[in-house]
Structure 1
Amino acid sequence: MKLNPPLHELVVATHTPFHADGSLAPEVVPAQAAFLAANGIRSVFITGSTGEGHSLTCAERLAMYEEWAVSGPACGLRVIAHVGGNCIEDAKTLARAAESLDFAAISALAPSYYKPGNLAALVDCCAAIASAAPQTPFYFYDIPAMTGVSFPMEKFLAEAAERIPTLAGIKFTNPDLVSYRRSLEVAGLRFDLPWGVDEMLLAGLASGARGGVGSTYNWAPKLYFDLIAAFTRGDLAEAQRLQNVSIAMIDAIAATGFLGTAKALMGRLGVPVGPARLPLGNPTGGQVDALVSQLDELGFQEWGAK
């Protein structure tokens, strides 16, 4: 089942908003959605890695679904819900909820505690989850650096296509460009493979990517819109320059803990998504001040979200 139109665009992996005490803050989502839409974003990927999905209870994820189901469409945003986790039954519950809320698609990463021991077991997991939402396109979320599960995605596409009628493609958060190119070859026009490594977007585009899902698109969408435009018109030098800026930006944010610092940056932009939850850390106010200065030196006033 193809997602129409496919994810041939920048898709923001959204933060899950929390209060200062770490409790869920769904009331922030309307402002979050409006901010992203105002900066040119049309699709969001919720409760994934950037959304601290593994740090949310099933009930909290359902609460976020309910809020995004209203706030996303109100701002013209398509919503893709990450439903995966270590408990397949919870994943099926989340998939059913996403379908009932008419989300554009669902996605699931591999279980990472009891890991699937072979490709067939991974396909079994995905098929079980996708079957709970039989009218909704399904994307496998390949992120081996986080899950520790790594199988050839070109073989996954071949096997899963026979088992998962709703398979739409793969969210490819894996820097293995050889595997990506092989997977694109197998995918052809049947499957959609949005790229998921922001600091390698240019390499993904050169390999054949037509869209990307990423966290840094929250606060720097113009940087990546400009990068894609430069690549499309054949200005490789400018595309490389912008990718260098992206890498420097990510390095600066990661220096004080990527996710907590990224959420603090959103707060400075007027979207109070709060702190990251344990076991992740959060920067001090002084560290955020220093980061903002670094980003301004990189040209954030020009390419950052407004």
Structure 2
Amino acid sequence: MNRKAFVAIVTCFNDDETINFEATRAQVRRQVEAGNNIMCAGTNGDFTALTFEEKVALTEAVVDEAAGRADVIVNAGMPATFETVKLARAFDRIGVSGIAVITPFFIACTQDGLIRHFSVVADAVGTPVYLYDIPARTQNHIEPQTASVLADHGNIAGIKDSGGAQETLEAYLKVGREKPGFEVYSGPDHLVHWSLQNGAAGCISGLGNVMPQVLSAIFAAFNRGDQQEAARQQAIYGNFRKDLYGLGYPPALVKRALYLMDSSVGASRQPALLPDPAQDAQILAILKAYDLVQA
């Protein structure tokens, strides 16, 4: 089984906060050239700041730019099942490789409610659906037992775990071993190599926006059986993560680090944090230390 790296790409914005489609397409090309696959409209893609129509137009542009050279997964998850189904059907028509569905946010869900939510969405489309667990942001968590129940649905292909805890990832990987065909994608950037060694189908990484080649190198080494090189690349990736995320909220820092490397990506939509000169200087120092910008 060839394991796959996905990068949850940023959505690029113009100064007036409209989507910069050309800059976004350039980010798709950059990842494809590095050997990575694409997730769009995810947490790192400012999905909560995008309108329904923008998510559809963004996905159309990303799929068009990838042109079959990489898999494209898109996040359709919204608080209500009704709108999630509407979005998923729109993505289904575009022709993506997979539809991720983040757990509802703002609404507190029971596990039974989550089973109904994901099942209804998976029933509505032909594209494989991936559960997306990120409880720190949504306040709803897919229990491993719930993932096991949903794994029996014919159109639920796997889960993206962005909980950050190795214990939860281990529990999902156990579900994957018990339910053949249920793929587990790790979200925590410090556990990429560990998750591959323990049966993950791949990862969906936000940090890959800034370090596409290192992420790709972890997978290239793992897939050819060179565990030593995979571990070496993982150490670089993990250390960079620790340094960068030590400054604050990860998606905002990923976008800002990328902006300092390439200003065409733009800032995030408000009310995201405004650029902070002192923080920018700290980010730049980290980027220079890892040879990501010229010293």
TM-score, normalised relative to structure 2 = 0.87
Q: CA deviation at 1:285?
A: 5.4
**Given the superposition, is the C-alpha separation of residues 299 and 209 from structure 1 closer, same or farther in structure 2, using an over 3 Å criterion?**
farther
Name which of structure 1's ranges 213-222 and 183-192 shifts more when overlaid on structure 2.
Answer: 183-192
**Given the superposition, is the C-alpha separation of residues 284 and 221 from structure 1 closer, same or farther in structure 2, using an over 3 Å criterion?**
same
Counterparts of 1:290 and 1:121, CA distance in 2: 43
Contact kept in structure 2, 1:252 and 1:294, CA below 8 Å: yes
Amino acid in structure 2 at the alignment position of 1:295: L
Counterparts of 2:198 and 2:166, CA distance in 1: 7
Q: CA deviation at 1:22?
A: 1.9
Percent identity between the two aligned chains = 23
Contact kept in structure 1, 2:134 and 2:162, CA below 8 Å: yes
2:161 to 163, 166, 172: 172
Query: 2:106 matched to 1:109?
Result: no
Contact kept in structure 2, 1:157 and 1:187, CA below 8 Å: no
Matches within 5 A, 1:128-277: 128-133=120-125, 135-153=126-144, 155-162=145-152, 164-188=153-177, 189-228=180-219, 232-235=225-228, 239=231, 242-254=233-245, 255=247, 257-270=249-262, 272-277=264-269
1:52 to 38, 46, 50: 46
Aligned length, in residue pairs: 289
Counterparts of 1:40 and 1:161, CA distance in 2: 29
Contact kept in structure 2, 1:93 and 1:132, CA below 8 Å: no
1:15 to 10, 14, 18: 10
2:66 to 67, 72, 77: 72
State the Cα deviation string for residues 199-218 of structure 1 (Å, max 9, x = none): 22233234332411011112
Counterparts of 1:87 and 1:198, CA distance in 2: 29
Counterparts of 1:205 and 1:290, CA distance in 2: 32
Contact kept in structure 2, 1:261 and 1:283, CA below 8 Å: no
Amino acid in structure 1 at the alignment position of 2:62: W
State the Cα deviation string for residues 69-107 of structure 1 (Å, max 9, x = none): 311216x12211100011222211111111101111101
Q: CA deviation at 1:37?
A: 1.6
**Given the superposition, is the C-alpha separation of residues 26 and 243 from structure 1 closer, same or farther in structure 2, using an over 3 Å criterion?**
same
Counterparts of 2:124 and 2:44, CA distance in 1: 24
Amino acid in structure 1 at the alignment position of 2:76: V
Counterparts of 1:279 and 1:130, CA distance in 2: 33
Counterparts of 1:10 and 1:182, CA distance in 2: 21
Contact kept in structure 2, 1:46 and 1:79, CA below 8 Å: yes
| Long gaps (5+) in structure 2 | none
Counterparts of 1:290 and 1:158, CA distance in 2: 43
